[in-house]
Chain A
Amino acid sequence: MTGLGAPSADVCGDAAAYLLGSLERGEALDFRAHLSACVVCRDEVRGLAEVLQVLPMAAPQFRAPKRVRRATIRAVRSERQRGRGHGGLVTGQPPRTGRLRFARGALGVSAAVAAATLLIFLFSSGVPATREVQARVLAGSGQAALLLSGARSELIVHGLRHPAPGHIYEVWLERGNRAPRPANVLFGVPPSGDARIAIPGDLQGAGRLLVTEERDGGSPVPTSSPVVVAQLT
């Protein structure tokens, strides 16, 4: 099974293997597609998922070493102070200020971004010029753009499809011919598919910004085709 063709009846009854994460990737995609048509498998997944919620507790329980807390909290506070990380700047609400709003319907994302850029220019004298980079959304019908302003970068998506259950979007930066490197940004989208995601660090020298769908927690390397691609150079 490849996961590319029509869902196969072969996956019917694979709920346990699916929930345990032991299906091959193509099979898991087939099974997910199969779920929309098979009420028996849907019920089985619903029932067995309860077991998976408590299965981690079958591990012997230990107290985590204090240094794990120290290191983690130090990193979080540091990222917080630098305004870094926390790629999940995603809410189901409109953007937090009036500086940038997506227009609906025919206006589209590019006009909204252009308007936002103008507002930023009008009300923020001294702020570095903002450059807009259009991005391609390769899955679904959403829209995306990247705003670059001095050292600040922001990916803006509109109508992006929701990641599959247990998955999240991860941002990558590609420099030259080297393999994409994690941008240390994970994000999801609300039902509207609209989100603004701060991209930490310097994008200088990056050729492309990519977004892929990865399992919760992200991945050290991309494991799926890009969903969003922004050409930076």
Chain B
Amino acid sequence: MSSGRALQALADEELMELVGAGQSRAFEVVFDRHVDAAFSLAYRMCGSRPRAEDVTQEAFLSAWRSGGSYDPARGSVRSWLLSTVRNRAIDAFRVEASKSSRDMEDDHLAEWMPAPHLTELEALRRDEAGRVRSAVGELPAEQRRVIELAYFSGFTHTEIARMLGLPTGTVKGRMRLGLSKLRVTLDSLELAA
């Protein structure tokens, strides 16, 4: 078993190799690095603190159980974990919630939780998150709307088209324009992965 300090020095991808071999201590390090981002995404999607906690826990447990399946060629550990959180949140919608409860705005959420002891890495991530959020906020409202409904609320393009009274082609076109603009903005901020 590797010592805690040695594990802390490892990159996520190296830790996942240990997780794949069943090392729970390595999993704990990965958990601590990404749990805040995971919970934040779950909260944004679920709009309910208890449900976000459940989704976060389920997502990390499934990551532990399937740790050996992580493939670095398909993206970062963080992206893989957040993708799992998103899938779990959408499953939670389907099982428990009415779709209307998913269609929420940011201003229904609480302000940022106090975080007096941010590490340098956490501070950097918060700064990046702020810039990504600004970039999304600068999108034309109709493009931002369809992207948020699809990504954060888990609606299909046909559901979005029905909700907004638009042809599906228009919805898909707005998604494409919105993501393309985001790509340009994030490239200029050197934030795209």
Contacts and interface: CB of A to CB of B under 8 A. Distances in A.
Contact of B65 (A52, A77, A88): A88
Contact of B40 (A13, A62, A75, A79): A62
Interface in A10-61: 13-17, 19-24, 47-61
A187 B69 contact: yes
A187 B66 contact: yes
A19 B80 CA distance: 14
Given A51-B183, A69-B35, A166-B83, A61 B65 contact: no
A189 B66 CA distance: 10
A9 interface: no
Nearest to A191: B71
A64 B193 contact: no
Interface string A136-162: 000000000000000000000000000
Given A72-B60, A86-B64, A17 B175 contact: yes
B78 to A, nearest CB: 8
A63 B85 contact: no
Nearest to B82: A56
Given A51-B186, A88-B65, A62 B39 contact: yes
Contacts of A52: 79, 151, 179
A151 B37 CA distance: 39
The secondary-structure label for the interface of chain B is: helix
A226 interface: no
Contacts of B68: 86, 88-91, 187-188
Interface string B71-92: 1001110011011111110110
Interface in A58-100: 58-65, 67-69, 71-73, 75-77, 79-80, 85-91
B99 interface: no
A217 B134 CA distance: 29
Given A62-B36, A68-B56, A69-B31, A217 B156 contact: no
A20 B53 contact: no
Contacts of A24: 156-158
A167 to B, nearest CB: 10
Contacts of B88: 217
A165 B185 CA distance: 27
Given A53-B193, A58-B136, 18 more contacts: A21-B90, A23-B157, A54-B192, A55-B151, A57-B125, A60-B40, A61-B129, A62-B39, A62-B112, A68-B56, A69-B31, A69-B35, A71-B57, A184-B65, A186-B65, A188-B71, A217-B83, A220-B91
19 contacts: A16-B176, A20-B175, A24-B156, A50-B192, A52-B179, A53-B79, A53-B193, A61-B126, A62-B36, A62-B39, A64-B56, A67-B53, A72-B56, A85-B65, A86-B64, A91-B20, A188-B71, A217-B84, A217-B87
